[in-house]
C-alpha cells in the first residue's frame, strides 16, 4: 500500500518519472558522423580525421551554432566505417548542449584507438547510419548524416540504392570529400552520388592537412542550418 502511494506521488514529480515513461527530449538536430577508416586512410591520416572531429566539437564556431537553435542542444553519434563487415561505433547517441558536454564527447572520440581497416563501402556506411537513426532516443525534425572519406566505393551494393533509402526516411546526407591526387574525381562523385536531401551540401578538404578546418566549418553550417 505504502509502495503504491509512493509510486503515485513519484509519478506526479517530473524528476522522478521512470525512463520509459518520460517524454523524449527534443533537440534541434540529430547528427550521425560517419568517418572513413578504410585501407586508404593510413594511421597518420586516421588521427588527423579523429582529432579534427574532436577539435571541431569544442570549437567556438560549433558551440555558437549549437546555442543558435530553438532548443540549444543537439544529439550526436560517431562511428567509423570501412565495408559491410567492418563498422565501429565509438560515440553512442550523446546530448551536446554546451562546452562541458562537448568536451566529454570530444574526449571519447580523441581517446579511442583505431579498430578497423578494410575496403570502401559508402552504401554500407549509409545503411549503418540508418540503423543508428532508428535507435535515436531524442525527438527532432532534422536528421543529418555526415559522411567523410577519401575514396569512392569499391565493394558492396549500389550507393544510389542506399542513398534513396536514406532520403525516403527523411535523412539528409552531407559530404566531406578529402581530395587527394589519387582520387581526382572524388568531389564530383560526392556531389552526384553521395549527398542528397533538403539543403544537402558538401565541403571539400584539400588533403588531410586541411581536414580540421573543413570539418569545423561543415559542422557549424549543418548545425545552424545555414544556407
- Give this prediction's pTM: 0.86
pLDDT per residue rounded down to tens, the chain (227 residues) = 434 444 443 444 444 334 333 458 999 999 999 999 888 888 999 899 999 999 999 999 999 999 999 999 999 999 999 876 778 899 999 999 999 999 999 999 999 888 777 789 999 999 999 999 999 999 999 999 999 998 898 887 889 999 999 999 999 999 999 998 777 899 999 999 999 999 999 999 999 999 999 999 999 999 998 66
pLDDT value of residue 208: 92
Dihedral sign for Cα 22, 26, 27, 32, please: positive
Query: 88-127 burial string, b = 16+ CB within 10 Å, else e?
Result: bebbebbebbeeebbeebbeebeeeeeeebbbbbbbbbbb
Helix (H) or strand (E) holding 78: strand 74-81
pLDDT value of residue 19: 38
pLDDT value of residue 37: 87
- Cα separation, 150 vs 183, in Å, equals 7
Measure CA 166 to chain center.
14
Walk me through the domains of the chain, giving residue ranges and CATH numbers: 25-223 (3.40.50.410)
- Cα separation, 166 vs 163, in Å, equals 5
Cβ(206)–Cβ(51) under 8 Å? no
- Cα separation, 76 vs 56, in Å, equals 13
Task: Give how far Cα 80 sits from Cα of 11, 113, 118, Å.
Answer: 40, 11, 11
Amino acid at each position: 500500500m505504502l509502495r503504491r502511494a509512493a509510486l503515485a506521488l513519484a509519478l506526479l514529480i517530473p524528476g522522478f518519472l521512470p525512463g520509459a515513461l518520460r517524454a523524449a527530449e527534443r533537440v534541434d538536430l540529430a547528427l550521425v558522423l560517419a568517418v572513413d577508416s578504410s585501407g586508404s586512410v593510413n594511421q597518420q591520416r586516421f588521427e588527423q580525421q579523429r582529432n579534427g572531429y574532436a577539435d571541431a566539437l569544442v570549437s567556438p564556431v560549433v558551440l555558437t551554432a549549437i546555442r543558435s537553435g530553438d532548443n540549444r542542444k543537439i544529439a550526436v553519434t560517431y562511428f567509423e566505417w570501412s565495408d559491410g563487415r567492418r563498422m565501429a561505433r565509438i560515440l553512442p547517441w550523446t546530448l551536446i548542449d554546451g562546452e562541458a558536454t562537448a568536451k566529454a564527447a570530444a574526449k571519447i572520440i580523441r581517446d579511442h584507438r583505431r579498430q578497423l581497416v578494410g575496403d570502401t563501402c559508402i552504401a554500407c556506411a549509409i545503411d549503418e547510419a540508418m540503423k543508428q537513426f532508428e535507435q535515436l532516443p531524442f525527438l527532432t525534425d532534422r536528421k543529418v548524416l555526415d559522411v567523410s572519406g577519401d575514396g569512392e566505393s569499391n565493394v558492396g551494393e549500389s550507393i544510389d540504392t542506399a542513398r534513396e533509402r536514406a532520403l525516403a526516411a527523411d535523412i539528409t546526407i552531407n559530404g566531406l570529400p578529402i581530395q587527394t591526387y589519387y582520387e581526382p574525381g572524388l568531389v564530383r562523385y560526392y556531389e552526384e552520388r553521395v549527398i542528397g536531401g533538403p539543403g544537402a551540401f558538401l565541403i571539400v578538404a584539400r588533403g588531410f592537412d586541411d581536414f580540421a578546418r573543413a570539418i569545423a566549418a561543415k559542422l557549424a553550417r549543418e548545425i545552424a542550418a545555414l544556407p
